[in-house]
Amino acid sequence: MPLFMFYEYLCKFGLLKIYEKEIEARVIKHPLPKHVGIIMDGNRRLAKKIGENPEIGHHLGASKVREVINWCVSLGIHTVTLYAFSLENFERPKDEVNVLMNLFEREFLEIAKHPDIHKNKIQVNVIGRKKLLPKHVQDAINYAEEQTKFYSDYYVNFAIAYGGQQEIVDSVKKIAKKVKDGSLSIEEINLELISENLYTSHLPCPNPDLIIRTSGEERISNFLTWQSCYSELYFCETYWPTFRRVDFLRSIREYQKRERRYGK
């Protein structure tokens, strides 16, 4: 039976919450991922499916972010990185990009003062080429980062104006500058040095253990290209705005079933 039909069957008989509790009971008995990356895909496709414009899909997707952060905190997953806007997304229609920029501004201003963020001591950061964003968005991001910079219980990272390959280029440029000014020799360049110059270097666990992509697409799309070399991948058919806690728990359960050998 396909998964969506199974869920429909459970919903029909009011059993989905029971099923969710059973999965959670199994999940918490095993090691959890320390860092989860999520490619939040499907906002526009859901909007189209229900006969609405993309703006509705993006607003629904923004609401889902808050839920997922709460799920991670409740399970004790200390780092989550959310792929919100790629460098390629700037090529979308201007009106849609403007909608997203205004949504980012609103969400970061709300995050900065949300009681759950401060109660759970969540550090908020944006990774990517932030200078490409409109000033009002940069200001909102800077405000959220400033208000949470001393927290270290949980980390929530938003990849905005982000590209994984471009992140590596930026890291190499920083290293090249040090070689040029004589503070670093070519022989000192190694894997650790490149990692230390990536956007995620501030994290206690910079490499995601698990990457989830919603909407059924099965590709990474330039997300954490360097950091994901040994990540476990999980592809979920549901669109991002309709991603449920039971879907999240199933992804973790699948992760726990896999043997991580790191090439050994």
Annotation-wise, does 35 bind a ligand?
Answer: no
Residues with Cβ within 8 Å of residue 244, at least 6 apart in sequence = 238
Annotation-wise, does 41 bind a ligand?
Answer: yes
Annotation-wise, does 219 bind a ligand?
Answer: yes
Cross-strand bridge partners of residue 80: 36, 156
Annotation-wise, does 92 bind a ligand?
Answer: yes
Annotation-wise, does 244 bind a ligand?
Answer: no
Residues with catalytic function: 41, 89
Annotation-wise, does 128 bind a ligand?
Answer: no
Annotation-wise, does 98 bind a ligand?
Answer: no
Q: How many CB atoms are located within 10 Å of the residue 168 CB?
A: 15
Cβ proximity of 154 and 114 under 8 Å: no
Annotation-wise, does 261 bind a ligand?
Answer: no
What is d(CA 188, CA 226) in angstroms, rounded to the nearest whole number? 19
CA angle 109, 68, 1 (to 5 degrees): 150
Q: Name which of 238, 242, 235 is nearest 61 in CA terms.
A: 242
Mark the binding-site residues, compressed into ranges: 41-45, 58, 86-88, 90, 92, 213, 219-221, 232
Mark the binding-site residues for Mg(2+), compressed into ranges: 41, 232
Mark the binding-site residues for substrate, compressed into ranges: 42-45, 58, 86-88, 90, 92, 213, 219-221
